[in-house]
Every structure is written in structure tokens, then in C-alpha cells.
Amino acid sequence: MNIKVLVFLPIAVAASACYHNVSTSATKLDPSVRLARTCPLGVKLYTAPDRLQQSYREVALLNSTGQIHYTDEGAMFWSMRENAAAVGANGIILGEIDEPDAITKVAADVAKTEAVRKGKAMAIYVAADSANSVAACANYKGPSRLRRLLSL
């Protein structure tokens, strides 16, 4: 067996445990619409629909879940950006994030399970902002080598 595998495999497993604690699904609203993939850096976050000054097209519903002890809202938003970029969206209108209450957290600790936070959002395409999205993605290198190894 290769010594590199013996050294890096435990590191990869530990890192994957941290990275994969957020799960996001993207449900396309119109499967016939084909938009070019973009990168997560080209996807802007909006707190409400009225914050947009341009017209937009709704592309997909995003639903995220993350283990509360190992994730935060930033990890959830990044996961949403990755999924929105995969369906060609260049924006996300954030919905609600449901945090477990204190009783749920205590019950999960006692039962040795994990409490989860849930988030919802709408992936959108803003045609007037497509040039900014392309510019933001111009130097994006994609996932690091370690993250590519973890996805195998």
C-alpha cells in the first residue's frame, strides 16, 4: 500500500466529516430550462426579493440541512451557492433558517443524536447581472485538491 494513502487518508476522512455536514438539494422549477453552470463565487445572496433592482427568473428551490454542532450559516450558504451555481443560477433569495430550540438541542445531546438546522432559499437567474457573475468566476479554481479527493 502506498505510504501517501496511509498518511492522507485519515486526514481526508476527518476533513470530509466536517465538509459533508451540510446537505443541499436543488429542485429545478422548469427542467426544460438549461442555463450554463457558473461558480459559487458568481452567486449573490439577497435577503429579500425587494432587494433586487432587476427582473429575475426563478430557477430552483434550495433546501439545506446541517448538523448544528458542526456547521454554521456560512457553511449552509456556501452549500446553497454550490447547488445554485450547478443549475446555472447567479443569485439566491434567502428564505428562513430554522434553528432547533434549546429543548431540541438538549434532547439530541441526551439521545446522542445530532440536532439540525434547516434553510430554504430560491435560486434565481438575473440576466442583467450575468457579466458580473462571469467576472467573479474568472479566476475561480474550483475545489481544492483535498476536496476533490474527498468526493471520490
Reported as a pLDDT band with limits 50, 70 and 90, residue 105 is: low
As a residue count, the chain comes to: 152
d(Cα 47, Cα 26) in Å, to the nearest integer? 19
Per-residue pLDDT at 19 exceeds 70 = no
Whole-number Å distance between alpha carbons of 75 and 132 = 23
What pTM value is reported for the model? 0.74
- More confident of the two residues 150 and 31: 31
Under the banding of pLDDT at 50, 70 and 90, the label for residue 2 is: low
- The C-alpha cell at 46 is 439577497
> What integer pLDDT is reported at residue 151 of this predicted model?
47
Widest CA span in the chain: 58
* Confidence bin at 118 (pLDDT 50/70/90): confident
Residue of 72, 54, 61, 68 lying closest to 95 (CA atoms): 61
More confident residue, 13 or 101: 101
Q: Which of 1, 2, 11 is nearest to 144 (CA)?
A: 11
pLDDT confidence of residue 139: 84
Mark out the alpha helices in the chain (DSSP H runs): 3-19, 73-86, 102-110, 130-137, 145-150
Stretch 128-145: mean pLDDT:
83
